[in-house]
Structure 1
C-alpha cells in the first residue's frame, strides 16, 4: 500500500508542480500580452496631459518673457531695454524718465536699478518684431490675430466692431455691432422724421463746425496784422530754490517788437507733487522782461515748429502787457493726453515755435 499508494501521490505532485510551473511560465506572456500595453497607454496619456498642461501654448509663455518690466503687459510699439537687458514699453520708459525729472533724481531700471536715460537705454528691435507676431485677442469678436494686423482688423474688417447708424447725423443714437447696422438702418425711424425733429442734432453739428471755424478765422484775421513775428524756442527744465524743489521750464530771452520776452511753463499748475497724479498737463505763460512804455496788446499761439515734434493743438491767447502787467496768465498747453506730457518731460528740452501778433490800437 505504501509503495503503490505513494506512486500516484508523487505523480500527482509532479503533475501539480508542472502545471504550476506552466502557469508561472505563461504569466509573463500574459503580462506582455495584456498588462504592458495598458501601462504604456497610461504612460503615454499621462505624458501628453503633462505636456499639454505645461505647454499652455508657446505664445503665452513668450508673452510672460517679453512683457514690460513696469506694467507687465506686452508692448504695443517701441521696446526699450536697460544695460542689463530688462525690457520696458515706450510709455513706461518715458513715464520713468518723467518721474525722475519731476523728483530731480536719476531714472533707474525698476528691476536692477541701473541708471537709464535717453542715451543709455536702447531699443530692442528683435523683441519688437517678436511681439508684433504674437497673437492677441480682438476686443470685439474675441478671435486671435497677430498684433501687427490686429489694429487693421478691429478698425476695418471685424464684423463685430462697434458702428453707428448712417443716420446719426440727423440724431439717431444707435450704436452696435457692424453686422447689425444694416438691419437697424432698414428699420430706423429717423429718415422719416420731420425737419423740426432733427434740428437738435443739426445744431450740435453746427456748433462744432462753428468752433473750428472761429479758430481758423481768427488765425487769418491775425495774419492781416501789420506786426507779426515768430521765434523757434527751447523750454529747458529748472528747479525752484524752495525746500521742496519744484520743476518748471523756461526759455532764454528772445526779442519781439523791440522788447525782451521769455516763456515759462509748469506741470499740473505747479502741483506740490505731480508724481502722485496719474493725469498730467502743462501750462505756460508769456512774460515781458523789459519795461513797456505803452500797453502792448499781444496775441500769441504756440505751435510744433520745424525743430520739435510736440503734438500740440493750436490755441490763440491774448494779453495786454504794460509796466504793471508784465506777466501773462498761465494758459493750458493743448496736449492730446498725459502720455504726450510724459514724453515731453522725458526729453531734455521742449522745442516749439511761438508766433506773436501785435495789435495796433
Structure 2
C-alpha cells in the first residue's frame, strides 16, 4: 500500500512535464509537445487502441549468445530503490549513488504524505531536490545499451530499441485487423495478420451490412468524446485539485486476486482521507478468444469525519500520470454523492488488455496516475 499526496500548486504545475510555445495536442488545455504528458495523451479525439496500448516491461538481459549480460548481483544495483523495477527512462540518484527511476523521483520529491521522508532517498534518507535533480547518465547509458531478447519473437536488440520493436516490428505483438474501424473484431499476433486479411469478410460486406457494425462503434466513440469534453471542463474549474497516485508493483510474493477490489493507495484531499481500490477483472465466461481480454477497474472510498452528517458531492476522473506506460480509458464520475451510508464511489474501467498484459502492468510495473477531483457545494442545485 502506498500513501500519496502532493500539493495542488506543485502537482498541477507538474501535470505537464515540459512546456513548448510551438503548441501541442491539447488545444488550450496544454501546449506540451512531450509524449509523456498525461494531458496530451488524454485528449486524443476519442481514439483508443487497446491492442497497441501495451505496458513496457523488461526482459532478461542477454548477450548475443543468449547468456546473461550481467550477473544477478550486479543487475540488482540497477533497480529503482523505491519501486524495485529496472528504469526505462531517466534515472536519478541521491548523493550516495542510490538509483531511483524518474516516476518514483517525482513522487518522492512531491508527495506531501511522506512528511519527513519528503525529498529524501528511500534507501538512505539523503536529501534529493526537485529543482536540482541529480541524474545518473552512466546508468542510463548502460541500461539503454544492454542486449535484450524479445520474449515474444526472440529477436535480439539493445534495450533502447525495445519499445519501438514492441509497437511496430515484433511479429508476436498483438494487432487488430485493418478493417477494425468498420467492425472486424479480429485481433492476434502480427505473424497471423496476413492470413487473416485473406479470409476477412468485411471488405465484401454491403453498405447496409456495415451499418449494423458502424452504429455501435460510432456510439462508443461519441460517448468517449463526451467524457473527454466533460473532463476538459473539469480541468477549468476553480475547485479542482490534482492528486498524484502511485500503485507500486505488486510483485510475485503479493498475489493480486481477480474480480475483487483491493486497497492499493491511501491519500488525502479536500481535508479528508480517501482510499484508491483497484480490481483486476478476468474475461467474460463466454469469451472464447485464444487471448481473451481482461480489465482493470478503480473506485474511490471516502473516510468521513465522525462529526460530518451532510452529504458530500464530488466529480472526479482518474487519468494516466506523466510517467505512465499506458493510457487509461476516458472516465468520469460526475457528481457522485458520498454519505454515511454510501462511502464507495462507482466502479469504473480504466484499462483493457489481455490477462498477461494486465498482469505485467499490475504485478511487474505498477501504475502512475493522477486523480482530478472537484468538490461541489451541497447548498447549490445539482
TM-score, length basis structure 1: 0.47
Task: Say which structure is richer in helix.
Answer: 1
Larger radius of gyration: 1
Larger RCO: 1 or 2 (CA < 8 Å, sep 6+) = 2
